[in-house]
Chain A
């Protein structure tokens, strides 16, 4: 079974600085998706960035980028120029690409990010 591990329950960063959130996962599949979601106090899960395992190039979305190390099964999120609005819970998630009816996301425990002014 696939698992997702986030080893940092809490992180903090100064406004305008850079922070990296860690995520490791375990799977025997060769193709899959990895995601970072943000969950503010409103509870709504918001997709931050997505990576397809067959793509070697790291995904980037504005200030958000990932460091995807497939062999090491590592998928870290880098937030550059941190803003107060980035403060939230961040979840790493995994999904198979081709598993019949298996469309579910498997989630880590989350990292709470505080942004200090």
Chain B
């Protein structure tokens, strides 16, 4: 079956603009995670959904970042008033349940803010 799909693969935007990054998890996976990976770094946790609700959003860096998962499947990460420091690869992962199940990652979206 299909893996985790993230779109777009690459996104270039101007400073101050609004962007949306989409994650389509594996069908039936209830847990969904967003991570951010800056150049030369390991991923950093942003937010975790269990079903439709955000179970842990402690990693969101500030109120410009917001994520939704309205039907418990596709998730959208939204960034307002983008800054150059937001440039990174945004990784999405899903798992069958929220505990003990292995994570399946997408190929990420590379966001470049000019």
Contact = CB atoms under 8 A, between A and B. Distances in A.
A43 interface: yes
A103 B56 contact: yes
Given A101-B55, A102-B56, A107-B42, A45 B93 contact: yes
B43 A105 contact: yes
Interface residues of A, number: 20
Contact of A101 (B56, B59, B89): B56
B102 A104 contact: no
Interface string A17-35: 0000000000000000000
Contacts of A11: none
Contact of B42 (A46, A101, A104, A108): A108
A50 B102 contact: yes
Nearest to A6: B42
B40 interface: yes
B83 interface: no
Contacts of B108: 43-44
Contacts of A62: none
Nearest to B9: A43
Interface in B16-48: 31, 33, 35, 40-45, 48
B91 interface: yes
A47 interface: yes
Given A44-B106, A101-B48, A107 B55 contact: no
Contacts, number: 53
Contacts of A109: 40-42
A78 B82 CA distance: 41
Nearest to B105: A45
A110 B37 CA distance: 11
A108 B40 CA distance: 11
B110 to A, nearest CB: 8
A55 B93 CA distance: 26
Interface string B55-93: 110010000000000000000000000000000010101
A56 interface: no
A80 B98 CA distance: 33
